[in-house]
């Protein structure tokens, strides 16, 4: 019987299925108890994590007989993938498992941000009715959606956007204009990220957090966006420079921004600034 250590929250029914065939240690608190996780690691044939357990360094060294690292989600920025592979461990993400959930979140965010009505909740709750301020809401239909990263989630988002009358354009560092996914989804490929930013009313990020994408959306990139465009980041907090976003919001250059994640805290996103018209929300799914 193989020993499986599950260090973060997992659906109980799925844990039960594993328990029927394997020796399972399931404790979602393990991620916060590094010493215990380290003690359990040498006995594990497989380790299952979400995005908080850092599978690298000493933990990786301690996983001496582990052959597989399961990732309940998609982004692999918490896992040293080359290090795992060098030790003969397969890294298995749950590709596509929450893609629809994220794509719906992006569309809902774009609607909220362009419409702007959500921002008046506090005023309405306080008994006011800021009708004039709400009359400038924008429609999604006819707007251009710029997808940065055109993998599983980017492609699914383009389908939902198309159904609402949006025009989608995309930039993907690994996909040239001839890639069949663009024609399949009726999406125009942009040769550069700046070409995308120059035309998108909604910019949505769907790329991994790696060394080359960390801080990709700094002040210069944000300045290259169309005036009044909105930014939705459902990828990873570290891709966007939050201080630069807050400054652009205060100066009115950026229409609005919504994010499922922040650099400071993955599990508890915070307001970037008390004065900036920005909106954070909890993650779309337990990715």
Residues that bind ligand NAD (CB under 6 A): 73-75, 98-99, 102, 148-154, 171-174, 206-209, 212-213, 234-236, 260, 283-285, 287
Name the residue whose CB lies closest to ligand NAD: 151
Given a contact cutoff of 8 angstroms between Cβ atoms, the answer to whether 22 and 3 are in contact is: yes
Nearer to ligand NAD, 51 or 144 (CB): 51
Least CB distance to ligand NAD at residue 10 (A): 16
Nearer to ligand NAD, 5 or 235 (CB): 235
Least CB distance to ligand NAD at residue 130 (A): 31
Nearer to ligand NAD, 116 or 154 (CB): 154
Nearer to ligand NAD, 24 or 161 (CB): 161
The residues that bridge with 212 in the sheet, in sequence order, are none
| Strands across the sheet containing 230-233 | 188-189, 167-171, 144-148, 202-205, 230-233, 256-259, 279-280
Q: Is 39 left (phi over 0), alpha (psi -120 to 50) or beta?
A: alpha
Least CB distance to ligand NAD at residue 85 (A): 17
**Three-state SS for 77?**
coil
Of 109, 118, 61, the C-alpha closest to 86 is 61
Given a contact cutoff of 8 angstroms between Cβ atoms, the answer to whether 46 and 2 are in contact is: yes
Nearer to ligand NAD, 18 or 203 (CB): 203
Nearer to ligand NAD, 141 or 212 (CB): 212
Least CB distance to ligand NAD at residue 175 (A): 6
Least CB distance to ligand NAD at residue 96 (A): 7
Strand 3-6 and strand 23-26: the pairing is: parallel
Strand 167-171 and strand 144-148: the pairing is: parallel
Least CB distance to ligand NAD at residue 1 (A): 32
How far, in Å, are 121, 122, 129, 132, 242 from residue 126 at the CA level? Answer: 9, 6, 9, 17, 29
């Amino acid at each position: 019987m193989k020993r499986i250590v599950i260090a973060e929250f997992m659906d109980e029914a799925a844990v039960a299925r594993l328990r029927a065939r394997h020796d399972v240690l399931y404790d979602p608190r393990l991620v916060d108890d590094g010493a215990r996780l380290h003690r359990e690691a040498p006995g594990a044939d497989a380790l299952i994590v979400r995005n908080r357990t850092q599978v690298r360094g000493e933990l990786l060294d301690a996983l001496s007989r582990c052959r597989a690292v399961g990732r309940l989600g998609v982004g692999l920025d918490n896992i040293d993938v080359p290090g795992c592979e060098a030790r003969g461990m397969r890294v298995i993400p749950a590709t596509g498992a929450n893609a629809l959930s994220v794509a719906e979140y992006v569309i809902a965010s774009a609607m909220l941000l362009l419409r702007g009505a959500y921002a008046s909740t506090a005023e309405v709750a306080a008994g006011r009715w800021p009708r004039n301020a709400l009359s400038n809401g924008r429609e999604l239909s006819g707007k251009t959606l710029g997808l940065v990263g055109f993998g599983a989630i980017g492609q699914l988002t383009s389908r939902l956007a198309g159904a609402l009358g949006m025009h989608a354009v995309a930039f993907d560092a690994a996909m040239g204009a001839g890639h069949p996914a663009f024609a399949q989804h009726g999406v125009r490929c942009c040769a550069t990220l700046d070409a995308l930013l120059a035309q998108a009313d909604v910019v949505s990020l769907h790329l991994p957090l790696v060394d080359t994408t960390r801080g990709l959306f700094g002040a210069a990139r944000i300045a290259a966006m169309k005036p009044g465009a909105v930014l939705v980041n459902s990828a990873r907090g570290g891709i966007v420079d939050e201080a630069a976003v807050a400054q652009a919001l205060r100066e009115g250059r950026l229409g609005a921004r919504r994010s499922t994640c922040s650099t400071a805290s993955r599990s508890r996103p915070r307001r970037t600034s008390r004065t900036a018209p920005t909106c954070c929300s909890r993650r779309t799914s337990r990715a």
